[in-house]
Chains A and B, each alone.
Chain A
């Protein structure tokens, strides 16, 4: 481990991953708009560039050139901090996602993930995913606006309710894999019954993912028809863009994490011969989950708030506990 390994490579890797991540997020917005349009038998954006491929750029330019308004009634430091608090966890979550097998380049072994092989990566995922709530909470509180505060309150209640089942399902995964290292979870061979059982539990996990990233049908912080724009009401221009990007980043990273935990991450045919196929497989699987996100948004209307809470506590929690119990039995019986 010389200084190249410790400084130069992480910087290059970080810059590259950040660049790819943010570009992918920008195009995720286009992906969603195009796809949801097709679900609704429309065309979607197609004027900016061929097939509307420059639409994210146009959106970004438009938002960057807007006037930066800070309303007079807000708590200014917190108000300005909140968008960053929303964005940083969304990016940080990606640090533990392994992108592929170790790469040999210029006689060096370069591990293809940002944060290294953390031995408590699963805990890290759960912890960082919850920190995202702070961005929303702070935004709602600092805005000094009834709608913002209501949106933020709902979000925090929702996230706390849905984190519990999520943690329980992740605990079931832990029982099956026996390790908290995400790298090992991807690389270790899994018996067939374990794969099938995990896929059976994936719908439960997916529901908690939807609630965690505030996506339809759980998009309560933004319930337009009740709360204007929820916690984002007082934000405009670049600050709004940061919230918007962090929401989509959250979608992207949570999909990548789900793929890593449930669908073998970067693994796929021929990946041992060509290590660079790893990121490609990861991207393809992530896109599949993102398709699921958009599909659900196009299909299912938003729940009512009490329905959300009763679903979380009266259905999701008992069922995930049952899932955990059965997993424990299966692990003892079958291995």
Chain B
């Protein structure tokens, strides 16, 4: 019946308008990431890589190239060199003279981390990886040893 339809339609529209009006006065759930508010990541989140050092300043990386072998996409490129015994860069026999990670190839699987015998290469929490040129996506050893402090919050696991 027309009158019943009109009544029901009006009620339905009224309810729809009520729902949206209720949401109008709620605070937005948007997180203005990454420049204004950080997104909370889990502790084992795999982000931008970095290379670690020992407390005495020596590099952990001994240039064994196991990470390069483990990398499923061939994103890692290493040129190793013998350490100078008088002025060693790492505690082992060799060190990585060139250590590059191509982030355009990297799939952030973490296999490099697993393969590393000295826990030198680690995936950090940084996830703001956008860049303007392709060259900037290749992380050099310099970039990896001095990673920028990622603007993230670690959320509890569980």
Contact = CB atoms under 8 A, between A and B. Distances in A.
Interface of A: 35, 37-43, 295-296, 298-300, 314-315, 318-319
B28 A295 contact: no
B28 A42 contact: yes
A41 B26 contact: yes
Q: Is the interface of A mostly helix, strand, loop or mixed?
A: helix
A117 B155 CA distance: 67
Interface in B1-59: 2, 5-6, 13, 16-17, 19-21, 23-24, 26-30, 32
Contacts of A315: 2, 5-6
A131 B75 CA distance: 62
A299 B28 contact: no
A318 B2 contact: yes
B16 A300 contact: yes
B6 A37 contact: no
Interface of B: 2, 5-6, 13, 16-17, 19-21, 23-24, 26-30, 32
B24 A319 contact: no
Contacts of B6: 315, 319
A96 to B, nearest CB: 31
A315 B28 CA distance: 38
A299 B20 contact: yes
Contacts of A42: 28-30
Contact of B16 (A38, A299, A318): A299
Nearest to A298: B20
Nearest to B2: A315
B35 to A, nearest CB: 9
A295 to B, nearest CB: 6
Given A41-B23, A315-B6, A318-B2, A296 B30 contact: no
A315 B17 CA distance: 21
Contacts of B2: 314-315, 318
B24 A38 contact: yes
A37 to B, nearest CB: 7
B8 to A, nearest CB: 12
Contact of B13 (A38, A298, A300, A319): A300
13 contacts: A39-B23, A39-B24, A41-B23, A41-B26, A41-B27, A42-B29, A43-B28, A43-B32, A296-B17, A298-B20, A299-B20, A315-B6, A318-B2
The 4 closest A-B pairs by CB, nearest first: A299-B16, A299-B20, A43-B30, A43-B28
